Structure 1
């Protein structure tokens, strides 16, 4: 199937999901110097559907799973989204050093309505038991992790979940907006560490940052396990201001380096 029909089908997920090139998603960041967007099915925010109700309620996982099973362009193994949700939640909890976290086991039925209820119960359990341990935005982060896992389960680079902050960043990138940044690609490993790839001739590279450095803190605030969109916000800022990063090389001895980088308008 060609890309365009697949994107048209992906758009049927309405405002629940955005379909973008995997390269762009992996390299999204407030400091993104350049990226290649193939297409966008939609850039709405699923949470807007439910105002004034709780936008992070478990029912959002129910909706996501049912839409995926009913609307994806080819049949979906019903167990995959459930397993993906659990995997996404475990990944987040593990990054918060809550490796012993337990989640209810579940076997999919193949009925989208019933499977959606199962997905909602898993997210509800995680929110009830672990939101406080995850942090001040625990419910939001758990919701994002569950939805990301559900969509990732189909292993399709054009079917991904974008958080509200990621959607805002995508819209800004598509509109050609300028921003103050340091010129790096940002990645997050499964263990929560933040890796940067400086872009040649931009502020971070000029300051001496090396490819593959692990960022330990931004302006004195540790960033391991912090959602990548929040790290993005921490690094971005008004052009001409300074952001201070402490980082070390991914491989080799852990020797921290300090960088004071002046933000610039990144086109």
Structure 2
């Protein structure tokens, strides 16, 4: 089945998030070092970004490095940071040619200087692009994100800038890393693991979840289109029942 040809172009999610999982296991099964899997996974990033751009997905968020990933062997962490620097430098021209804007979420201040500087340069040089927004979640933790939002809100309350009646979903969302970015309608996780691993806990509240056994280095454009196709064939109720949704559709 050609999933792309069967997509409903009027029902493309505005924001898709991906947990890129399985690089290490892919490499291990091939008798390679884990970093080979991470390096090969860069091509899958290109595939996903190209697919997203082709069907007009506005935001694509990739879970690239969590706060927990610092606990991995130092050689792997160092290799990942070097790979990130090299990849960003190599892909900058392509990002601009394809009108892709780069953003990051997470505590990027704690990244190595070379990595952070390369990121800042790429963010600046793509800031005026109008196509798909590629968001890299780097040194990211959803729990930390929510805790920091609570602290900032509490500070504003203490200073008398807001009252308790002002604390609502919109206020919380505006204090997260993703302020101003719509929540993902779809989250994809590769490698067969069925969990969200401290990723966008607030933002994924009503997202559709797509889990695939494919390791990230083997994830291709058609796999992305398949996830979108399956998303389009689900009924998103948001707490309602199907009959209520049908009535809303009639009124539209």
Give the TM-score of the pair, scaled to structure 1.
0.28
* Structure number with higher relative contact order (C-alpha < 8 Å, ≥ 6 residues apart): 2
Greater helix share, structure number: 2
